[in-house]
C-alpha cells in the first residue's frame, strides 16, 4: 500500500475491486439496455410517457395517427343475401302457417286431440331450434323440461274447464323454475346460469305459447281469430323473405342479410290479408278489426324474425360456434309464430269479445 503514492482523500486512491464477469447489471450493460429499449422515451419512462417531438411531428394533420385513420376508414364487409336460402325460409314459414291454420279449422269439440298432436309437433321443432341456437347451460335438461311443459300445456289446453290461459301460465312458471334449478346441478353449468336466464325464459314461454292455439279454438270467435292472426303472420314472414331474395335493399345492417323493404312490405301485406279476411268472416269481425289484429301480429312477427338474425350475427361476431344450419333457419319463423300468440289471445279476449 505504501507504493501507491500519497493519498488524496478521494476514492481515486482506493484499489479497484476485481471485475465481476457474471454481473448482468453492471454500468456498461445497463447503458446498452437503455439504448436498445424500444419503448423508452426521452423522459426516462416507458409506455405511456410523452412522445418525442420528432414522432409528434410525424402525425397526420388533425392529430390522428395514420394507422388509426386507416383502421377507421376500413369498410365493414357486407354479408351477401343467399337467394335460395331466403326462398327456403319463406316456404317453411308458409307451410308452418298452413299446417296450423288447417289444424285449427278442422278441430271441433270432440276432435281437439288431433290438433293438439299437430301443435305438439311444432313445439318439438321450436325446442330443437331454440335450444341449439341459444345453447343454455344443461341444454339437455332444459330441452327435457320444455318437452314435459309442452305436453302438460297441451293436455290442460284440451281438458281444462273453463278454457283459459291461467293453467298455461302455471305450467310456464313451474317449467321455468325447474329448468333453472336443473342448471344449478353441475358446477360448470352453474357458472353460466345468470347469463342464460333470459334465453331459458324465451324457450319455455315460446313452447307454452303454442298451446294457446288450442285454447283459442275453444272460444266462440277463437277459431276465426286463429285464422286471421296466423294468416297475417305467415304472409308477413313469407313475403319478407321472398322480397329479400330478390331485392334486399336498403340493408338493415351490413352484417345482417335482410332488407328493410321486405320487412315493411311483408307487414303491410300481412295487415292487408287480415283486413280481407275480416271482411268475409262473420261478426264480430269487420275489415277494421281484422286490420288492427293483423297489424299487431304482423308487426311483432317481422320484428321477432329480424331479432333472430341479429342474435345469430351477434353470436358469430363473438366467435361462438355457429348454430346447426337447420335450427338456425327454422328459428325465425317458429319464433315469429310463437311470440305473436300472446298478443293474439289478448286481442281476441278484450278486442273482439
CA atoms within 13 A on the CB side of 309: 22
Mean pLDDT calculated for residue range 271-281: 90
Q: Domain residues of the chain, as ranges? A: 83-314+321-352
pLDDT at 67: 53
Residue that wins the pLDDT comparison between 139 and 231? 231
Alpha carbon distance 229, 207 (integer Å): 18
Q: Are the CB atoms for 274 and 293 separated by under 8 Å?
A: yes
pLDDT at 212: 93
Q: What is the pLDDT of residues 124-155, one digit of tens each?
A: 999 999 998 888 888 889 999 999 999 999 99
pLDDT at 110: 66
Q: What is the pLDDT of residues 232-261, one digit of tens each?
A: 999 999 999 999 999 888 888 888 888 999
206 has pLDDT over 50: yes
pLDDT at 201: 92
20 has pLDDT over 80: no
Residue that wins the pLDDT comparison between 98 and 322? 98
What is the CA 325 to chain-centroid distance, rounded?
A: 15
Averaged pLDDT of the chain: 79
Rg of the chain, C-alpha, whole Å: 34
Q: Are the CB atoms for 270 and 305 separated by under 8 Å?
A: no
| Helix or strand run (H / E) with residue 252 | strand 251-253
Q: Are the CB atoms for 163 and 219 separated by under 8 Å?
A: yes
CA atoms within 13 A on the CB side of 155: 7
Alpha carbon distance 300, 307 (integer Å): 10
Mean pLDDT calculated for residue range 193-201: 84
278 has pLDDT over 60: yes
Residue that wins the pLDDT comparison between 160 and 175? 175
How does residue 58 score in pLDDT terms, banded at 50, 70 and 90?
Answer: very low
Alpha carbon distance 308, 314 (integer Å): 10
Q: Taking each helix axis from N to C terminus, what angle separates 112-134 and 287-317, rounded to the nearest 10 degrees?
A: 30
pLDDT at 12: 44
Write down the residue that cell numbers 411531428 correspond to. Answer: 57
- Rounded to the nearest 5°, which phi and psi values hold at 258? -135, 155
pLDDT at 26: 47
What is the CA 43 to chain-centroid distance, rounded?
A: 50
Query: Taken in order 252, 253, 256, 257, is the CA torsion positive or negative?
Result: positive
pLDDT at 328: 78
Q: Are the CB atoms for 343 and 297 separated by under 8 Å?
A: yes
Burial class (CB in 10 A: 0-12, 13-18, 19+), 185: exposed
Residues 6+ apart with CB under 8 A from 241: 86, 87, 89, 90, 93, 262, 266
Alpha carbon distance 291, 283 (integer Å): 14
Q: What is the pLDDT of residues 285-329, one digit of tens each?
A: 889 999 999 999 999 999 999 998 888 887 777 766 656 777 778
Amino acid at each position: 500500500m505504501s507504493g501507491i503514492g500519497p493519498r488524496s482523500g478521494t476514492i481515486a486512491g482506493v484499489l479497484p475491486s476485481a471485475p465481476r464477469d457474471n454481473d448482468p447489471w453492471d454500468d456498461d450493460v445497463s447503458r446498452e439496455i437503455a439504448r436498445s429499449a424500444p419503448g423508452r422515451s426521452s423522459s426516462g419512462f416507458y409506455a405511456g410517457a410523452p412522445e418525442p417531438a420528432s414522432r409528434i411531428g410525424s402525425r397526420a394533420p388533425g392529430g390522428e395517427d395514420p394507422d388509426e385513420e386507416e383502421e377507421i376508414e376500413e369498410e365493414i364487409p357486407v354479408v351477401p343475401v343467399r337467394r335460395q336460402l331466403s326462398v327456403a325460409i319463406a316456404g317453411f314459414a308458409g307451410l308452418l302457417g298452413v299446417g296450423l291454420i288447417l289444424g285449427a279449422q278442422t278441430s271441433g269439440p270432440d276432435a281437439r286431440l288431433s290438433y293438439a298432436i299437430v301443435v305438439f309437433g311444432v313445439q318439438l321443432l321450436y325446442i330443437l331450434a331454440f335450444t341449439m341456437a341459444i345453447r343454455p347451460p344443461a341444454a339437455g335438461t332444459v330441452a327435457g323440461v320444455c318437452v314435459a311443459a309442452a305436453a302438460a300445456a297441451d293436455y290442460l289446453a284440451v281438458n281444462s274447464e273453463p278454457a283459459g290461459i291461467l293453467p298455461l301460465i302455471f305450467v310456464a312458471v313451474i317449467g321455468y323454475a325447474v329448468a333453472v334449478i336443473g342448471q344449478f346441478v353441475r358446477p360448470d353449468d352453474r357458472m353460466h346460469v345468470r347469463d342464460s336466464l333470459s334465453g331459458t325464459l324465451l324457450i319455455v314461454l315460446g313452447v307454452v305459447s303454442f298451446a294457446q292455439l288450442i285454447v283459442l279454438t275453444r272460444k266462440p270467435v277463437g277459431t276465426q281469430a286463429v285464422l286471421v292472426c296466423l294468416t297475417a303472420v305467415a304472409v308477413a314472414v313469407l313475403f319478407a323473405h321472398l322480397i329479400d331474395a330478390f331485392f334486399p335493399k336498403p340493408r338493415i345492417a351490413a352484417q345482417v342479410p335482410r332488407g328493410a323493404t321486405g320487412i315493411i312490405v311483408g307487414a303491410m301485406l300481412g295487415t292487408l290479408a287480415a283486413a280481407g279476411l275480416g271482411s268475409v268472416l262473420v261478426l264480430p269481425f269487420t275489415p277494421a278489426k281484422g286490420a288492427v289484429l293483423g297489424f299487431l301480429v304482423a308487426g311483432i312477427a317481422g320484428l321477432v324474425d329480424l331479432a333472430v338474425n341479429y342474435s345469430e350475427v351477434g353470436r358469430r361476431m363473438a366467435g361462438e360456434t355457429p348454430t346447426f344450419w337447420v335450427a338456425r333457419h327454422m328459428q325465425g319463423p317458429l319464433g315469429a309464430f310463437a311470440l305473436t300468440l300472446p298478443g293474439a289471445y289478448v286481442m281476441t279476449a278484450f278486442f273482439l269479445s
